[in-house]
Structure 1
Amino acid sequence: MKKIPFSLLGLLLCGCASAAQANIYAYTDSHGVVHLTNVPAGNSQYHMVMRTPKMPVAVARADFNQVARQQYQSLVRSAASRYGVSPALVNAVISAESGYNAGAVSPKGAIGLMQLIPATAARFGVANAFSPAENINGGTAYLAYLLRKFSGDLRLAIAAYNAGSNAVIQAGYHIPPFAETQAYVPRVLAFYQHYLNGTAPEQITAVTAKASPLPAPAAISTSPQLIQVSNP
């Protein structure tokens, strides 16, 4: 594999890490183009070139980004209206999944505000899961789908958002017996009730769910999934 000059690689890695705060992977294709990404999505050609530490879930989710939450409300209301979902539910899922950190990346590859895995993102037309607008739109569409699938049962829809529809069905249309999901459902419902009541969600301190997001960036920005660099 051809090598990229250290200064160039360092510059690119720093830029990518500051936006998405995730491990960086690379490979060189047959044309000599170096591909860098923070989401290899199972592509065996990539190998890790930089590891970035993840902040403990409890710390990351306990510190809500107040500014981001307010800034995203127009997107939340628009998506909620489009798909017939309560804005309080969309906010509850975002609160539990990422704490309003648009750059959150889970160990399983779930991305962004509503922690969409690549397959779900593609299914609901999300090209860039780091984009707040696309992420909220796709995540809300997915919530609407789950609510229809489970006949409006909020608990089952939330459980399916965390564990998948098949897990809920295989559990006999009950919350699956997974510790993560068993804790996730009441956490989202608690956020949901707080948003309905107009009270501060920061009062909820129990931490659970699947993602391990990193601290929210000082400035809200979207992050590209793939960077390509030509060797000199």
Structure 2
Amino acid sequence: MKQGCLLVFIYLLAATAQAETSKPHFVAKPSNKSVLGKAIEASKVSLNVTPEAKQGDRVYHYRTVDGGLAFSDRAPQQGHYQVLLFDCYACSPKSNVNWSSIPLFTTLYQQQIATAAQRYQLDPALIRAVIHAESAFKPAAISKVGAQGLMQLMPATAKELGVNNAFHPAENILAGSRYLAKLLDRFDGDIALACAAYNAGASRVEQFKGIPPYPETQAYVERVQILLKRYRKA
């Protein structure tokens, strides 16, 4: 396993210890696939992530039969698990997803999104596009740098916005929408710059006087705008 992957999961272990009781769980369906390959074990933590695992890939977190924590890029064959992410869903420049035809999430969290849109004077389609790009509507998502929930709030940002539980959909959507509205105000309503700031930080956008020359950020901004147009028409 690459050293980077190991560092990622050391962090995830710490984050999981704090959030495990409040994060939604999913039940694994029976599978006829082979049993998970041999994992690296340390302090009862199993890491079973292939070297090919990359940004945007799903990572499954669950407890083994002996009570240990396990992280894998394959879902367990039975029991409960949580879905984590290496990074935001739309950030990988090498993504082979067709963003112009990928299925949309038009019905999830309708009330929460409507409430946030009204409170912060935002286009509901923009909120939905950002959620799609950030987490693919996975409320339990955690990025490799620790961003949490549907709109991938960093712990410091969540704290500043008064969030008690970043994995609670309503709280996350309200806080993420509030932050997005602040960025839109800061960049005079420019959606591309606000989204770039949401991804890379407002100071980076100001430093480069535009979308930063980071492949991940450029890919993210482009895909959010594609999703925005599609959600507006949906």
Q: CA deviation at 1:138?
A: 0.3
**Does residue 197 of the first structure (1) align with residue 178 of the second (2)?**
no
Taking structure 1 as reference, are residues 190 and 65 closer, same or farther at Cα in structure 2, changes over 3 Å only? Answer: closer
Correspondence for 1:105: 142
Q: In angstroms, what is the RMSD of aligned CA positions?
A: 2.8
Q: CA deviation at 1:123?
A: 1.4
Q: State the AA in 2 paired with 1:124.
A: L
Correspondence for 2:219: 183
Distance in 2 of aligned mates of 1:96 and 1:58: 10
Taking structure 1 as reference, are residues 165 and 51 closer, same or farther at Cα in structure 2, changes over 3 Å only? Answer: farther
Native 8 Å contact 1:159 1:168 kept in 2: yes
Q: State the AA in 2 paired with 1:36.
A: A
Q: State the AA in 2 paired with 1:50.
A: V
- Deviations along 1:67-96, one digit per CA (max 9) or x if unpaired, are xx6231110010010000100000000000
Native 8 Å contact 2:149 2:169 kept in 1: yes
- Deviations along 1:2-40, one digit per CA (max 9) or x if unpaired, are xxxxxxxxxxxxxxxxxxxx93239xxxxxxxx93369x
Native 8 Å contact 2:104 2:231 kept in 1: no
Gaps of 5+ in 2: 1-10, 21-41, 59-88, 90-96
Correspondence for 2:117: 80
Distance in 2 of aligned mates of 1:105 and 1:83: 25
TM-score when scaled to structure 1?
A: 0.61
Correspondence for 2:182: 145
Distance in 2 of aligned mates of 1:38 and 1:53: 21
Correspondence for 1:162: 199
Q: CA deviation at 1:56?
A: 5.1
Q: After the TM superposition, which residues 213-224 of structure 1 pair with which residues of structure 2 at under 5 Å, given as runs?
A: none
Q: CA deviation at 1:158?
A: 0.5
Correspondence for 1:8: none
Segments of 4+ in structure 1 off by > 2 A? 22-26, 35-39, 47-66
Native 8 Å contact 1:97 1:114 kept in 2: yes
The percentage of aligned residue pairs carrying the same residue is 44
- Deviations along 1:128-173, one digit per CA (max 9) or x if unpaired, are 100000000000000100000001111100100000000000002x
The answer to which structure, 1 or 2, has the higher relative contact order (CA under 8 A, 6+ apart) is 1
Correspondence for 1:36: 17
Gaps of 5+ in 1: 1-21, 27-34, 40-46, 199-232
May I ask how many residue pairs the two structures share in their alignment?
159
The one of 141, 153, 156 aligned to 1:119:
156
The one of 92, 108, 111 aligned to 1:71:
108
Correspondence for 2:132: 95
Q: State the AA in 1 paired with 2:213.
A: P
Q: CA deviation at 1:59?
A: 5.6
Q: State the AA in 1 paired with 2:13.
A: I
